[in-house]
Amino acid sequence: MAKRARRIFGGVCFVLNLFLVLGGGAPSFGQDYKSRIKDIANFEGVRDNILVGYGIIVGLNGSGDKLSSAVFTRHSLTGMLERLGINTKNGGLDTKNVAAVMVTATLPPFARPGGRIDVIVSALGDAKSLFGGALVVTPLHGADGEVYAVAQGPVIASGFAAGGAAQTFVKGVPTSGRIPNGAIIERSTDFRLRDQSRIMVSLRSPDFTTVKRVAEIINGSIGQLISMPIDSGTVEVTVPPGYPGGVVALLTEIEQLSIVPDQSARVMINEETGTVVISKDVRIDPVAISQGGLTVRVTETPQVSQPGALSTGGQTRTVDRTQVDVTETGTGKVALFARGASLQDLVNGLNSLGISPRDLIAVLQALKASGALRAELTAM
């Protein structure tokens, strides 16, 4: 028996199925929580720096680059051997135990020479796996072209591959790996925090209300007018002369201050995963939302028709039998929202309709199109 079913959704089918458990009780969307300044802002100059380098991994068990196709690997291997006093120009190189890789690392702020940082290696050519290999001395350059670290060491691959002529098994990414503490810092960044007379506090999410609150809480805590917002994302802080402990002590006190950050009303949707995130300040104008659905199910049940036992000239045939069932589903309820309904009202109302997260996206898009949603709707 062959069956074929087709589901068609019609009408306005809006559903929210949002479950939030906080502390074992009902959620409270109207409560504002304070955040430390260190959790919502950065200090100018206190930042990471990206390093990159090109290197060679050796010691692979036949899983490296093919030197006939990876020309850059061949040239790099030849150049490295020549620096070691080995001439290979007249000889053929056909090893499969070498792979060319890009080496990346992050130099933390105020890192000093002699310290160590982790590095990540990623294959450039057609290597099958970096498992068991070791990175040879690789300089790591900053954006200014200077060498800030030198990397070397055994690679810890993040996956492996195995297989034969008929089947191959791959787990993770065998062409990428990490070397913990694999680079030694050779040069520090030229930034002296203690010599700064002004510090810029940069918000990670710029907002005029939040930046004003940051400036006010800093002035109130220090007892002087030392900070002033200069745009929606930056507060300029003047270091008071003779401040006890200097700049470091001032920044320590500032980053521990707490404020209630403000944010724009925003709704984030991801149609691929059905994820919906609604900020607490979302409001809607008077609107009524109903739920309904139309389901059409078509079932094919072929039957065989045979001639009688003593008949002549009859033929066996297949006769189609089609059954169509039409049902209308839904709670039959209508949720009515008053002007300025909050997120709590929206959740309660749509929960009463029994709406799924994916259908909620259609609700929000319809509300935005009708002009009833007072928030920014952004698709991820």
pLDDT at 276 (0 to 100): 80
CA 169 to chain centre: 27
Alpha-carbon gap, residue 236 to 219, rounded angstroms: 11
Tokens of 35: 């955040």
Residue 266, token pair as written in the block:
């925003």
Per residue in 251-284, pLDDT (tens digit) is 999 999 999 988 888 888 887 777 888 877 787 7
For residue 44, is pLDDT > 80? yes
Q: What is the pLDDT of residue 367?
A: 77
pLDDT at residue 272, rounded to an integer = 78
Looking at the chain, the whole-number percentage of residues with pLDDT higher than 90 is 35
Cβ neighbours of residue 144 under 8 Å, at least 6 residues apart?
none
pLDDT at 58: 94
Q: Is the pLDDT of residue 129 over 60?
A: yes
Given a cut of 90, whether residue 18 has pLDDT beyond it is no
Backbone angles phi, psi at 88, to 5 degrees: -120, 10
Residues carrying CATH 3.90.1150, the chain: 35-45+192-259
Q: Compute the distance between CA of residue 92 and CA of residue 189 in angstroms, rounded to an integer.
A: 44
How high is the pLDDT of residue 137?
94
Q: Which fold has domain 35-45+192-259?
A: Aspartate Aminotransferase, domain 1 (3.90.1150)
Q: Band of the pLDDT at 225, cuts 50, 70, 90? A: very high
Contact call for residues 237 and 199 (beta carbons, < 8 A): yes
Q: Residue 92 and residue 71: Cα distance in Å, rounded?
A: 13
Under a CB-based contact definition with an 8 Å cutoff, are residues 281 and 302 in contact? Answer: no
pLDDT score at 1 = 39
- Per-residue exposure over 341-356, b if at least 16 CB sit within 10 Å of its own CB, e if not: bbbebbbebbeebebe
Cα 213 from chain centroid (whole Å): 29
**What is the per-residue pLDDT for 244?**
87
